[in-house]
Amino acid sequence: MSADNSYHEPLESALKHALTYLDQLENTSVSAQASLDELRTRLSRPLVEEGTNAQQIIDELVSDTSGGLLGTMSGRFFGWVVGGSLPAALAADWLTSTWDQNAALYACSPAEAVIEEICGAWLKDLLGLPSEASFGLVTGCQMAHVTCLSAARNAILSDLGWDVERQGLNGSPPIKVLTSDQHHASVNRAIRILGLGTDCLISLPTNENGQLSPLALEEALKKYSPDPLIVVLHAGDLNIGAYDSFKELIPMAHSHNAWVHVDGAFGLWAAASAKYRHFLEGVEMANSWATDGHKWLNVPYDCGYAFVRNSKAHYNAMALKASYLVHDNNARDQFNWNPEWSRRGRGVATYAAIRELGRRGVSSLVERCCQYAHDLVTQIGALPGVSILWEPQINQGLLRFHDPKSMASEADHDDYTDEVISDILQSGEAFFGGTTWRNKRCMRVSVCSWRTTDDDIARVVSAVGEIISSKRKAFSEK
Ligand SMILES: Cc1ncc(COP(=O)(O)O)c(C=O)c1O
């Protein structure tokens, strides 16, 4: 085969397999049914001396991974906080691979540099963030935290005359990071990566709505000032989608010169909806914001966004110079704003997703997901032996399943909840994850996919109903 047409067969084969995969989602298990051993046996082919035909590789990839993929593209996937992929975003992502540009700087791919510029402006507009904020497109919210907190570290130490980029952290004024006890583990890891160490992280109590207590924050700010301070607030915490009170907490933190960073991995997207925007009142006063594209915007993995009000601090923390690079002073070099050098043109899928949905489409996606989360939680919660631990205020809710045996303890309900989750996964009809919230095991319900429909909700409620009633029947017949 000549180099000219050597792509045809594998790409045509990939297209055929991709369409078959997508077309069959309705009839395919949303949980992985193949065992670890099976997958290892199928995939651990010998390392060949001579190469293999490209189309054969693609065909075998499909058969070898069969049953080992989760139905994250299906409308019945409610695990973690996982979005699907919009058609234009998926197709644009294929083109991104086909073009194989290095989206490090304008000179490496002029079109992709411009696409990212436009994505930044659109995203700030959709999310209600200040138009002057700088931004970076990164792999996910984890790296958005790293990027934003690098800028924070730069700014709060430079205010004290310490140049962290040159002097590092040895001997620097000690930074404290104040946040709620519901913070995501990616915040801890960002702090570790930045060399701050998790000893500097102070977890403060939350109220019954999962919001950081203003009193606790005020006390901590007083206790640790005048040390350089970062406050991490939440726009949608991982279990219940709680929003801290930005309006109250941000001015409080600023009065102690603290940098305020917002973890808005999914919850920042409520800004796109007139119905849910009120949760974010005051969020625009923060210093930096982290969110994802691969969750609620429904672009393929991996895609996150970092925004920083103080663009100078952001630039100082990330920018690079090297003699062999070519710069155009009028253009935006992406690598000055994110932690990678060579990188995928991940702006392309974001650009396509936002164009496909438009402002109204993003708003409708957010509102649909919130409505479906509410429907799922209240309808499953109305089944016998189920209690609602958190009725969704956005797209996240929590359910607990009760062990029918008499005198069942909380520990029995914990085990029973895990058992029901496992039975649901086994059925292949829906995917939910578990979590421990306020010392109780529960099933997390997270709706994030553009594909979820009324029919999906009805199908899942009925499937869960059948599982619960057959478990209760089996118990009563014992
Ligand atoms: C609240 C919150 N913050 C941060 C993250 C990390 O995001 P990512 O996995 O995109 O790095 C998550 C992931 O689910 C999250 O829910």
Mutate to test the pocket of ligand 1, among 139, 237, 238 (most ligand atoms within 8 A of CB): 238
Give, for ligand 1, the residue of 186, 296, 338 to mutate: max count of ligand atoms closer than 8 Å to Cβ.
186
The DSSP output letter for 206 is B
Cα atoms in the Cβ-side hemisphere of radius 13 Å centred on 369: 35
Residues having CB closer than 6 A to ligand 1 are 80-81, 140-142, 184, 186, 238, 263, 265, 292, 304
CA distance 478 to 475: 5
Structure token digits, residue 166: 């040159």
For helices 54-65 and 36-43, give the axis angle rounded to 10 degrees.
170
pLDDT band at 477 (very low <50, low <70, confident <90, very high): confident
**308-351 pLDDT per residue, tens:** 999 999 999 999 988 888 888 899 999 999 999 999 999 999 99
Q: Under a CB-based contact definition with an 8 Å cutoff, are residues 102 and 326 in contact?
A: no
**pLDDT at residue 475 in the model:** 87
Q: What is the CATH number of domain 91-354?
A: 3.40.640.10
Residue range(s) occupied by CATH 3.40.640.10 in the chain: 91-354
- Compute CA distances 293 → 44, 68, 263, 306, 361, whole Å: 33, 24, 14, 11, 15
Residue 283: per-residue pLDDT: 98
pLDDT digits (tens, 9 = 90+) for 409-444: 999 999 999 999 999 999 999 999 999 999 999 999
Q: What is the pTM of this model?
A: 0.97
Banded model confidence at residue 399, pLDDT cuts 50, 70, 90: very high
Atom 7 in ligand 1: residue holding the nearest Cα: 141
Which residues neighbour 351 within 8 Å (Cβ) at sequence distance 6 or greater? 92, 115, 118, 119, 122
Q: How confident is the model at residue 267 (pLDDT cuts 50, 70, 90)?
A: very high
pLDDT of residue 29: 96
Instruction: Flag whether pLDDT at 258 surpasses 90.
Output: yes
**What pLDDT sits at residue 303?**
98
The rounded Å distance from CA 296 to ligand 1 centre is 11
The ligand 1 atom at the shortest distance from the C-alpha of residue 140 is 10
Domain range 364-476, its CATH number among 3.30.70.3000, 3.40.50.280, 3.90.1150.170, 3.20.20.70? 3.90.1150.170
**What would the mean pLDDT of 259-279 be, rounded to a whole number?**
98
Q: What's the CA-to-centroid distance between 416 and ligand 1, angstroms?
A: 27
Q: For residue 478, what pLDDT band results from cuts at 50, 70 and 90?
A: confident
Residue nearest to atom 12 of ligand 1 (CA): 265
User: Does the structure show a pLDDT above 60 at 197?
Assistant: yes
Helices (H), 100-197: 110-127, 141-158, 164-167, 185-193
210: left (phi over 0), alpha (psi -120 to 50) or beta: left
What average pLDDT is seen over the chain? Answer: 96
What separation in Å is there between the alpha carbon of 1 and the centre of ligand 1?
45
Residues carrying CATH 3.90.1150.170, the chain: 364-476
- Residue 45 C-alpha to ligand 1 middle, in angstroms? 34
- Kindly tell me if the per-residue pLDDT of 389 is higher than 60: yes
pLDDT band at 2 (very low <50, low <70, confident <90, very high): low
Matching residue, tokens 């029919």: 455
Q: Say what the pLDDT of residue 90 is.
A: 98
Structure confidence at residue 5 (pLDDT): 85
Cα dihedral 124, 130, 136, 138 sign? negative
What percent of the chain clears pLDDT 90, i.e. is strictly above it? Answer: 96
- 446 Cα: distance to centroid of ligand 1 (angstroms): 13
Let me know: does 430 contact 72? Beta carbons within 8 Å. Answer: no
User: At a CB cut-off of 8 Å and minimum separation 6, what does 184 contact?
Assistant: 141, 237, 238, 263, 265
Closest CA to 376 of 399, 401, 345: 399
The predicted pLDDT at position 3 comes to 64
Amino acid at 283: V
Q: Of ligand 1's atoms, which has the minimum distance to the CA of residue 267?
A: 1
pLDDT at 1 over 70: no
